[in-house]
Amino acid sequence: MDTHCPYCALQCATTLTPGGPSGVTVAPRDFPTNRGGLCRKGWTAPAVLAAPDRLTTPLVRSAGELRPTSWEHALDVVARGIADAQQKGGADAVGVFGGGGLTNEKAYLLGKFARVALGTSQLDYNGRFCMSSAAAAGLRAFGLDRGLPFPLADLGGADVVLLAGANPAETMPPLLAHLTTAQLVVVDPRRSATAQLAVDRGGMHLQPAPGTDLAVALGLLHVVFTEGWWDRDYVLERTRGVEEVRQAAAAWWPERVERVTGVGVGDLRRAAAALGAARRDGAGVYVLTGRGVEQHANGTATTSAFINLALALGLPGNPGRGYGCLTGQGNGQGGREHGQKSDQLPGYRRIDDPAARAHVAEVWGVPADSLPGPGRTAYELLDALGTPAGPRALLVFGSNPVVSAPRAAHVEERLSALDLLVVADVVPSETARLADVVLPVTQWAEEDGTMTNLEGRVLRRRRAVPPPDGVRSDLEVLRGLAERLGQPAERFPTDPSEVYDELRAASAGGVADYRGIEWARLDAGEALYWPCPDRTHPGTPRMFTERFAHPDGLARFVPVEFTPPDATSADYPLYATVGRTLAQYQSGAQTRRVPELTAAEPGTYVEVHPDTAALAGLADGDLARVVARNGATRATVRTDARMRQDTVFLPFHFPGEERANLLTDPRLDPVSRMPELKLCPVRLEPLAGERTTS
């Protein structure tokens, strides 16, 4: 059965064949994104299907313990809890928290369920912690947000690629097959695997202090303007607002950038010249951003600064050139298009737009004025749980915020304060273990549906094996609850293709228009990218070739100002930054159940320069306590002489006392509401006499 990997937004193409200890074996397919490759997680994905603790029966908490029960009883308990919460506190007393790994159909029906069956505005999803800054910056600059507005294969013709805050060598390794000939310029405070690859190939690694990427972008823009590397004709013909941005960049001469960021004057000038000269000579040039620049309290401004750089170079919409964002979660693109964001309706419509409300309400068969308005964003929703003004009940689908949310211990406290916590999942995640009701649902190889990858390409997920007895699809769960809440059953279909057809109708005319991307066309193997407004339309693999999505067709330069990162101090002299590793994924709820991956990366470590470790009385292999203002975690010391001496790195995949997000700061970006996930002042302390056994 031809399908796609369940992990990142690259959505590598695979073929599943019956057999093996997990019920299926996996092999990569030759496909434009992965070109016949798979990473370690993709090769081992079937193991999750046979996880020893796979959930196969509903659980309801009784006398403090989760106990098996029937589906009918579990859904009755949830419906009664919802009714009780809303009777006491109104519609917004119930919240819904979704996930960027849900299929388009699940994300769509979850948003519809929240707005129609619950009538609540309290809906958001974990993609707020992933893509919100890039989405906000893209909307401001281009008028819409699509991670890559060009096919990934276009990168194969690149001569120079700037990767800012992105580490695809570990987060999506098959992407590197598209970067074999390009000179790489990597901006990252850590010598990541991607940064090392750039250096090994004769490229560059700009290694700024954490939280100063914005100053690096402004410095590059300064050199591009002052040295004449910018594309004057493109800027004058296809953009607006350059003068204000140019004046702001004038203040960021390279010597100032070096003082603020630590990036040397010569390196900054060489990087700008590599981009500018390639552009001048007609070569392929791309600027790509990732979570490293986006997951900050100024993430939208920083992403906008790199977009400004791309616009000055004349990249977006030009053949063989471009700007893009490397979307993270498997359906990070589709998951933010179809209605599980607090301010959004299907088709990437705004929920406060009267025309959008009228269109979607007509598709749903409800009055437009019955739809709620915008609600709290992800962290604000989690922070309000169990408070007098916040939800008393929460339904969680496809997310594990006990591990993945910032200020994780506080979020765990808020979840514990609820009258009702319901979690739909495939394994007993850390969040599921806190729940009052746990609902076992299908996973990737057990279901049909669609996903939208980082290119805006809509893909078919195909069922290869039946789910275990006792497991239901998320669509069936939503329908069962909706019926108990008084909704007609036909309003909440359980056939994925039927839900998808309704999604297409709801998206029609919107920014992310799927109307012409019919299920049959996908099954026939057509490569279809949104927008695709009708069945004769070929889709839009390359956007902005003639005009941008603003009414006047012009892109916008957006002026931004540098704000210094939260300062270190005598008590917290180091910066901690967090990220992903090759062998684990997101909160680790799936990958920590794969023996091969757990053997490769069994727990949290703190990567630190040897001299920094020695100053803290630590050596390689010691157990350390990493302490921040918000909390502390424990981690094994890994020394690496390529680290900045003021910076430590921790992966965020691990639970309990090893949660990296026990440290993180909940300050929010004023535009995207992205938390400050990538920067936190910390100190290291030895755990006396303790070392790991590895």
Per-residue model confidence (pLDDT) at position 693: 43
Give the CATH class of 574-691.
mainly beta
CATH number of 59-129+331-441+473-498: 3.40.50.740
> Could you tell me if 158 and 319 are in contact, meaning their C-beta atoms sit under 8 angstroms apart?
no
Of 18-32, 342-356, 595-609, 621-635, the least confident: 18-32
Token pair of 35 as six digits: 């070109």
Token pair of 143 as six digits: 């008028």
> Could you tell me if 113 and 493 are in contact, meaning their C-beta atoms sit under 8 angstroms apart?
no
Per-residue model confidence (pLDDT) at position 642: 96
Q: What is the mean pLDDT of residues 409-433?
A: 98
Sheet holding 393-397, edge to edge: 65-68, 59-62, 437-440, 420-425, 393-397, 94-98, 123-125
Res. 21: pLDDT tops 90:
no
Distances (CA, A) of 489 to 480, 483, 492, 494, 501: 8, 6, 6, 9, 17
Homologous superfamily of domain range 2-50: ADC-like domains (2.20.25.90)
Token pair of 522 as six digits: 């996908």
* Residue 233 CA, distance from chain mean position: 35
Torsion of CA 361, 366, 369, 373, to 10 degrees: -60
DSSP reduced 3-state for 628: strand
DSSP reduced 3-state for 588: coil
Res. 565: pLDDT tops 80:
yes
- Other CB atoms closer than 10 Å to residue 510's CB: what's the count? 25
Per-residue model confidence (pLDDT) at position 23: 87
DSSP reduced 3-state for 24: strand
- Half-sphere exposure for 346 (CA within 13 Å, toward CB): 33
> Could you tell me if 650 and 576 are in contact, meaning their C-beta atoms sit under 8 angstroms apart?
yes
Per-residue model confidence (pLDDT) at position 131: 85
Containing H/E element for 217? helix 213-226
pLDDT in tens, 140-184: 999 999 999 999 999 999 999 999 999 999 999 999 999 999 999
Q: What is the mean pLDDT of residues 198-222?
A: 97
Res. 689: pLDDT tops 70:
no
Distances (CA, A) of 683 to 104, 232, 571, 618, 631: 42, 47, 7, 12, 11
Distance CA 367, CA 68 (A): 40
Residue at token pair 């909307």: 139
Distance CA 106, CA 100 (A): 10
Q: Dihedral sign, CA of 493, 495, 500, 505? A: negative
Q: What is the DSSP string of 254-286?
A: HHHHHHHH---HHHHHHHHHHHHHHHHTT--EE
pLDDT in tens, 88-138: 999 999 999 999 999 999 999 999 999 999 999 999 999 999 889 999 999
Q: What is the mean pLDDT of residues 3-27?
A: 93
Q: What is the mean pLDDT of residues 182-200?
A: 97
Res. 191: pLDDT tops 80:
yes
**Is residue 253 very low, low, confident or very high in pLDDT (cuts 50, 70, 90)?**
very high
> Could you tell me if 222 and 249 are in contact, meaning their C-beta atoms sit under 8 angstroms apart?
yes
Q: What is the mean pLDDT of residues 535-542?
A: 96
Distance CA 440, CA 60 (A): 12
Q: Are strands 420-425 and 647-651 parallel, antiparallel or unpaired?
A: unpaired
pTM for the whole thing? 0.96
CATH number of 138-325: 3.40.228.10
**Is residue 694 very low, low, confident or very high in pLDDT (cuts 50, 70, 90)?**
very low
> Could you tell me if 661 and 407 are in contact, meaning their C-beta atoms sit under 8 angstroms apart?
yes
Distance CA 25, CA 15 (A): 8
> Could you tell me if 462 and 1 are in contact, meaning their C-beta atoms sit under 8 angstroms apart?
yes
Per-residue model confidence (pLDDT) at position 691: 56
High-pLDDT (> 70) share of the chain, %: 99
Question: What are the strands, taking DSSP E only, across 204-342?
Answer: 204-206, 239-240, 285-289, 322-325
| Non-local CB neighbours of 291 within 8 Å, separated by 6+ positions | 130, 165, 166, 328, 579, 677, 678
Token pair of 500 as six digits: 């998808």
Per-residue model confidence (pLDDT) at position 633: 97
3-state SS, one letter per residue, for 129-196: HCCHHHHHHHHHHHCCCCCCCCCHHHHHHCCEEEEECCCHHHHCHHHHHHCCCCEEEEECCCCCHHHH
Q: What is the residue extent of each domain of the chain?
A: 2-50, 59-129+331-441+473-498, 138-325, 574-691
Res. 692: pLDDT tops 80:
no
Q: Dihedral sign, CA of 673, 674, 677, 681? A: negative
Q: How many helices (H) and strands (E) does the chain have?
A: 23, 30
∠ CA(310), CA(315), CA(317), 5° rounding?
125
| Non-local CB neighbours of 331 within 8 Å, separated by 6+ positions | 9, 100, 101, 102, 103, 104, 107, 451, 452
DSSP-H helix ranges across 568-693: 595-600, 610-615
Of 39, 82, 666, 153, which Cα lies nearest the Cα of 411?
666
Torsion of CA 274, 279, 285, 290, to 10 degrees: 70
Res. 666: pLDDT tops 60:
yes
CA Rg, the chain, in Å? 24
Distances (CA, A) of 169 to 177, 329, 408, 496, 622: 10, 16, 28, 34, 27
End-to-end CA distance of the chain: 40
Of 47, 10, 5, 7, which Cα lies nearest the Cα of 27?
5
**Is residue 690 very low, low, confident or very high in pLDDT (cuts 50, 70, 90)?**
low
Per-residue model confidence (pLDDT) at position 665: 86
